[in-house]
């Protein structure tokens, strides 16, 4: 196991909430495990990380993050295998992405080894919180925010880095109805679309709410310049199957580089499944739907893995897709990915990092 020489101080809770928690009935994102990682960046360097009971923060009303949103986050999961062992899925990819987000938002880099070491330590401390069984996992939420007490607009001098975790069951159960958005934008060239910065998500709430009022679950975002090319589906990357071939937009700064997306692309390529990673136009999707050649569509992300799309609305015209049972490609990919994460299949990519018991 990697050691950075940093000492991780651990203060354990004296009142575990686990006995009062029904791990079989949990709402996504509302139940938090007993402990969290905290590490402060002061005077240009990180202090020692510590693991402490999950507790409320106290902060100044003048904290920079509250006013200008200098804040980033990540989302990844740990999975329990049938034999009880626990693995984190591709944490290095999330750590690298968080550091890319940090750079774009003028925030300090977190040393990769230290990040991984504190994460593994946290999972060891809270391993009893990691539920077993299909669909279940421990969702891990690392984040960092600007903590200066100052209301001038400039990068903060101090930051807080934290990680907490949530036991989760399934996420979206229902297939989603989506509408292709051509008025509002999530991201634009030169913007922050490729980063998981807090502001991206608050800015997307209003367009999503309008779509929900029209009876859709989610939007499909298009490029901000022409609204002619598909980017993402809500907070997930999007895939289609047209004429039996997988299709997903290429990333070029406005699309979040999803770890799930990358994993599915690698799985498809390795298995010799036909796949195109390129610009995908709205018109191409509309025509494929009209001609019945588009048979599957789904969002891909850590929280839900795959969210099947049951209907797509384009310019007021709604197209229904075939039933979920017929989604051969999506269901096969999801199973292949899940088998690796739960230790049921080989891990030829070295995607799993085991948590020592």
Ligand X SMILES: *Cc1c(COP(=O)(O)O)cnc(C)c1O
The nearer residue to ligand X, 264 or 311, going by C-beta atoms, is: 264
Mark 206-245 with x for binding to ligand X (rule: CB under 6 A) and - for no binding: --------------------------x--xxx--------
- 258 interacts with ligand X by CB under 6 A: yes
Going along 122-270, which residue ranges are E strands?
137-146, 159-168, 176-180, 218-222, 230-233, 236-242, 245-248
- DSSP per-residue codes, 146-183: E--B--SSS--S-EEEEEEEEEE-----S-EEEEE-SS
State in angstroms the smallest separation of the CB of 170 from ligand X: 16
Q: Which of residues 5-24 bind ligand X (CB under 6 A)?
A: none
The nearer residue to ligand X, 123 or 236, going by C-beta atoms, is: 236
Q: How many CB atoms lie within 10 A of CB 176?
A: 21
Select the span of 144-152, 252-260, 279-287, 339-347 touching ligand X (CB under 6 A): 252-260
- 75 interacts with ligand X by CB under 6 A: yes
Task: Say how many residues touch ligand X, by CB under 6 A.
Answer: 13
Q: In angstroms, rounded to a whole number, what is the distance separating the alpha carbons of residues 262 and 337?
A: 11
- 268 interacts with ligand X by CB under 6 A: no
State in angstroms the smallest separation of the CB of 256 from ligand X: 4
Helix (H, G, I), strand (E, B) or coil at 229: strand
Q: Which of residues 131-150 bind ligand X (CB under 6 A)?
A: none
* Nearest Cα to Cα of residue 246 among 286, 191, 295: 295
State in angstroms the smallest separation of the CB of 192 from ligand X: 11
Contact 244, 206 (CB under 8 A): no
Q: Which of residues 276-315 bind ligand X (CB under 6 A)?
A: 301-302
The nearer residue to ligand X, 75 or 253, going by C-beta atoms, is: 75
State in angstroms the smallest separation of the CB of 302 from ligand X: 3
Contact 138, 123 (CB under 8 A): yes
Q: In angstroms, rounded to a whole number, what is the distance separating the alpha carbons of residues 82 and 105?
A: 40
State in angstroms the smallest separation of the CB of 357 from ligand X: 27
Q: In angstroms, rounded to a whole number, what is the distance separating the alpha carbons of residues 179 and 303?
A: 21
Q: In angstroms, rounded to a whole number, what is the distance separating the alpha carbons of residues 96 and 343?
A: 24
How far are the Cα atoms of 165, 178, 216, 282 from residue 315, in angstroms, in the given order? 40, 12, 14, 10
The nearer residue to ligand X, 158 or 235, going by C-beta atoms, is: 235
Rg (CA), the chain: 21
Q: In angstroms, rounded to a whole number, what is the distance separating the alpha carbons of residues 318 and 172?
A: 21
Select the span of 133-141, 154-162, 251-259, 343-351 touching ligand X (CB under 6 A): 251-259
State in angstroms the smallest separation of the CB of 232 from ligand X: 5
The nearer residue to ligand X, 288 or 302, going by C-beta atoms, is: 302
Helix (H, G, I), strand (E, B) or coil at 88: strand
- 196 interacts with ligand X by CB under 6 A: yes
Return residues touching ligand X (CB under 6 A). 75, 196, 232, 235-237, 256, 258-261, 301-302
């Amino acid at each position: 196991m990697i050691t950075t020489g940093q000492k991780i101080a651990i203060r354990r809770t004296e009142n575990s909430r686990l006995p009062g928690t029904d791990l079989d009935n949990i709402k996504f994102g509302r139940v938090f495990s007993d402990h969290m990682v905290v590490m402060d960046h002061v005077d240009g360097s990180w202090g020692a990380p510590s693991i402490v009971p999950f507790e409320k923060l106290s902060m100044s009303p003048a904290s920079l993050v509250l006013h200008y949103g200098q804040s980033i986050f990540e989302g990844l999961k740990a999975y329990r295998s049938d034999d009880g062992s626990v693995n984190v899925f591709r944490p290095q990819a999330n750590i690298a992405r968080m550091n890319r987000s940090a750079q774009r938002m003028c925030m300090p880099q977190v040393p990769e080894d230290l990040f991984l070491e504190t994460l593994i330590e946290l999972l060891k401390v809270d391993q009893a919180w990691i539920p077993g069984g299909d669909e279940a996992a421990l969702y891990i939420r690392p984040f960092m925010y600007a903590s200066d007490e100052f209301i001038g607009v400039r990068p903060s001098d101090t930051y807080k880095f934290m990680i907490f975790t949530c036991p989760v069951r399934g996420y979206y159960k229902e297939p989603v109805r989506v509408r292709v958005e051509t008025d509002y934008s999530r991201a634009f060239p030169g913007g922050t679309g490729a980063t998981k910065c807090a502001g991206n998500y608050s800015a997307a709430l209003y367009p999503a709410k309008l779509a929900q009022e029209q009876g859709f679950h989610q939007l499909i975002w298009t490029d901000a310049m022409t609204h002619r090319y598909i980017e993402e589906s809500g907070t997930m990357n999007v895939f289609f199957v047209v004429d039996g071939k997988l299709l997903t937009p290429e990333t070029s700064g406005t699309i979040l580089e999803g770890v799930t997306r990358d994993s599915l692309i690698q799985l498809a390529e390795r298995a010799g499944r036909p796949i195109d990673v390129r610009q995908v136009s709205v018109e191409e999707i509309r025509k494929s739907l009209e001609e019945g050649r588009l048979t599957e569509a789904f969002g891909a992300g850590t929280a839900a893995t795959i969210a099947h799309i049951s209907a797509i609305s384009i310019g007021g015209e709604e197209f229904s897709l075939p039933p979920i049972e017929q989604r051969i490609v999506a269901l096969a990919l999801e199973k292949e990915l899940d088998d690796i994460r739960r230790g049921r299949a080989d891990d030829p990519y070295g995607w799993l990092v085991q948590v020592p018991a």
